[in-house]
């Protein structure tokens, strides 16, 4: 096989296939890693998925895995498989910027639990992926290091905040990626790039060493191109961590098994009435309805459910999230790490703090800090933050009532397909609406995922199918996702992501 053909085979393979090929000695991890690094070289100048690429570190890690396999060691199913990590997770070998000038060139002194688990499982970290500043946004346009571009159409957003991870997957620059989801930052990017993204139950994956945005909502999860790949990665990163007080001390749901079963016979699937209708693109609704029908044909029972307080979830979120993030971002005070400006020997610590925060934070961070400061200030606390916390209870009760009738709930993942870069950046409310369907699960803390369900007829862009499951029933997401993936493949609906010009997935004719 020519080098070009080998590269094409590798970068279009699933992570599960790569893991098996590496374990069997068909391909080495070095070959696999080299192919993805070459694809990054070939396309990332246009996609801008990566903030940093660790060529030497990745190849050294790949060599170590190859040596262990050659010595007869039996490793996990993803050993030697490359992965891209959202630049919000601390990793000692690379700067961790959170997409902010505030942390430009900051290299953490320790690894996040998730990164450590990836390394322990033999995964090869290719680099860090772009995100909206401090994971605030739905487009990656608020990143201090420039927006990422959607490989389906480079003029469009790859979603956010985890647009670097979704774009890296869609551009075949990595077979797996790590995301974090506070209001939809794993699921909405997955939706608009035709990839798989899972937000585990809150507390299912450790937040230790992940830069905090809104601590009661933030959750880390797997991103991939197939349901099984996401499940395999889920099993690597999930599980109790004493370093995170919100980590759940229970066995990880059997997600890989569920992704292989993909059986929805007898499952009760609830379509949420409030997540559709006005404001939803026709092609999004059409593909969503078709996906529901496919699941019905697979033996699921479909019912309609009403969650009346979901209409308030966007408002609730935009009070709770800024309140928590304004508190979390208070730690960037220019004293012990991060950007410091104006330290001229005259300015006081407080003046330096104000100047540094003014220079280090971008517009969206400032907007949200001001909103959060307002919502938490004396005289407004009860009306805003207090009311939002009560609304959170009502939204959770809606979920409880729905899950009493259904095993899972479903909706579109986001109301539209990928919008154009620049289209919503000056209109925060329009931008926030991208998270309309994903926010309820963050507020209630349950498990939720987005799976590809074809492309919208009007623009040919991918549509995401959201599945929501009760807390610690993450396996149901994979059961439904895998059934949908198979039904779409059987029906011949293409979920294949188009290749960019110059992509190594399509070796030139003469090669």
Partner 1 sequence: MALTEREVARLAELARIELTPEELRLFAPQLDVILDSVASVAQVATDDVPPTSHAMGLTNVFRDDVVRPGLTPQQALAMAPVSEDDRFRVPRILDEE
CB of 427 to partner 1, least distance (A): 9
The reply to whether 363 belongs to the active site is: no
Count of residues of this chain found to bind partner 1 when the rule CB under 8 A is applied: 73
CB 80 within 8 A of CB 69: yes
**Position among 67, 73, 146, 242 found at the interface with partner 1 (CB under 8 A):** 242
Pick the catalytic residue from 29, 86, 259, 313.
86
Question: Does the CA dihedral 196-477-325-108 come out positive or negative?
Answer: negative
**Position among 149, 225, 309, 476 found at the interface with partner 1 (CB under 8 A):** 309
Q: Are strands 268-272 and 408-412 parallel, antiparallel or unpaired?
A: parallel
Within 395-424, which residues bind partner 1 (CB under 8 A)?
Answer: 396
Rg value, the chain, Cα:
22
**Position among 203, 222, 239, 283 found at the interface with partner 1 (CB under 8 A):** 203
CB 194 within 8 A of CB 452: yes
Within 334-393, which residues bind partner 1 (CB under 8 A)?
Answer: 334-340, 343, 345, 347-355, 357-359, 361, 363, 366-367, 369-371, 373-374, 377, 383-384, 386-393
**Position among 13, 248, 272, 292 found at the interface with partner 1 (CB under 8 A):** 248
Q: Are strands 176-181 and 82-86 parallel, antiparallel or unpaired?
A: parallel
Nearer to partner 1, 191 or 326 (CB): 326
Taking each continuous run of H as one helix and of E as one strand, the counts in the chain are: 17, 11
Contact flag: residue 232 with partner 1 (CB under 8 A): no
Contact flag: residue 477 with partner 1 (CB under 8 A): no
The reply to whether 86 belongs to the active site is: yes
> Three-state DSSP class for 394?
helix
Nearer to partner 1, 258 or 352 (CB): 352
Question: Does the CA dihedral 404-405-408-410 come out positive or negative?
Answer: negative
Pick the catalytic residue from 29, 143, 185, 206.
185
CB of 16 to partner 1, least distance (A): 31
Pick the catalytic residue from 112, 161, 356, 448.
161
Contact flag: residue 445 with partner 1 (CB under 8 A): yes
The reply to whether 185 belongs to the active site is: yes
From residue 412, alpha-carbon distances to 141, 187, 199 in Å are: 23, 10, 15
CB neighbour list of residue 452: distance below 8 Å, 6 or more residues apart: 190, 194, 195, 196, 462, 463, 464, 465, 485, 488, 495
CB 178 within 8 A of CB 88: no
**Position among 312, 455, 466, 495 found at the interface with partner 1 (CB under 8 A):** 312
**Position among 36, 152, 202, 403 found at the interface with partner 1 (CB under 8 A):** 202
Q: What is the set of active-site residues?
A: 86, 161, 185
């Amino acid at each position: 096989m020519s080098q070009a053909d080998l590269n094409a085979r590798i970068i279009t393979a699933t992570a599960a296939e790569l893991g098996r090929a590496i374990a069997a000695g068909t391909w080495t991890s070095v070959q696999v890693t080299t192919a993805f690094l070459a694809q990054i070289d070939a396309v990332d100048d246009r996609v801008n998925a990566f903030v940093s690429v660790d060529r030497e570190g990745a190849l050294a890690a790949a060599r170590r895995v190859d040596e262990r396999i050659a010595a007869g060691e039996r490793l996990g199913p993803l050993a030697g498989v490359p992965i891209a990590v959202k630049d919000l997770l601390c990793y000692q070998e690379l700067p961790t910027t959170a997409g902010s000038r505030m942390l430009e060139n900051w290299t953490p002194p320790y690894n996040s639990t998730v990164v450590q688990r990836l390394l322990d499982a033999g995964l090869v970290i290719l680099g860090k992926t772009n995100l909206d500043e401090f994971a605030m946004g739905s487009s990656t346009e608020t990143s201090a290091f420039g927006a990422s571009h959607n490989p389906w159409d480079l003029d469009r957003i790859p979603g956010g905040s985890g647009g670097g991870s979704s774009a890296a997957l869609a551009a075949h620059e990595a077979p797996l990626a790590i995301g974090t989801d506070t209001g939809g930052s794993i699921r909405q990017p997955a939706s608009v790039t035709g990839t798989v993204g899972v937000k585990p139950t809150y507390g299912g994956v450790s937040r230790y060493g992940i830069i905090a945005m809104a601590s009661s909502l933030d959750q880390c999860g797997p991103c991939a191109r197939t349901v099984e790949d996401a499940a395999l990665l889920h099993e690597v990163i999930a599980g109790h961590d004493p370093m995170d007080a919100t980590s759940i001390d229970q066995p990880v749901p059997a997600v890989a098994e569920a992704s292989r079963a993909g059986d929805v016979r007898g499952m009760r699937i609830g379509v949420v009435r409030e997540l559709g209708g006005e404001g939803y693109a026709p092609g999004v609704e059409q593909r969503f309805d078709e996906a529901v029908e496919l699941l019905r044909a697979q033996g699921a029972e479909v019912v309609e459910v009403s969650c009346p307080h979901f209409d308030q979830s966007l408002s609730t979120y935009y009070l709770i999230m800024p309140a928590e993030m304004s508190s979390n971002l208070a730690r960037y005070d220019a004293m012990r790490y991060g950007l410091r400006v104006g330290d001229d020997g005259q300015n006081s610590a407080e003046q330096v703090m104000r100047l540094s925060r003014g220079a280090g934070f971008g517009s969206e961070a400032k907007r949200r800090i001001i909103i959060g400061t307002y919502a938490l200030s004396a005289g407004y606390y009860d009306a805003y933050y207090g009311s939002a916390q009560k609304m959170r209870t009502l939204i959770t009760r809606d979920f409880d009532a729905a899950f009493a009738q259904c095993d899972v709930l479903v909706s579109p993942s986001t109301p539209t397909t990928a919008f154009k870069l620049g289209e919503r950046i000056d209109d925060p409310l329009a931008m926030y609406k991208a998270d309309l369907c994903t926010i309820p699960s963050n507020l209630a803390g349950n498990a939720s995922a987005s799976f590809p369900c074809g492309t919208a007829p009007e623009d040919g862009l991918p549509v995401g199918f959201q599945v929501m499951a009760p807390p610690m029933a993450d396996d149901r997401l994979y059961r439904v996702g895998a059934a949908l993936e198979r039904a779409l493949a059987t029906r011949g609906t293409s979920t294949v992501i188009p290749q960019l010009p110059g992509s190594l997935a399509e070796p030139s004719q003469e090669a």
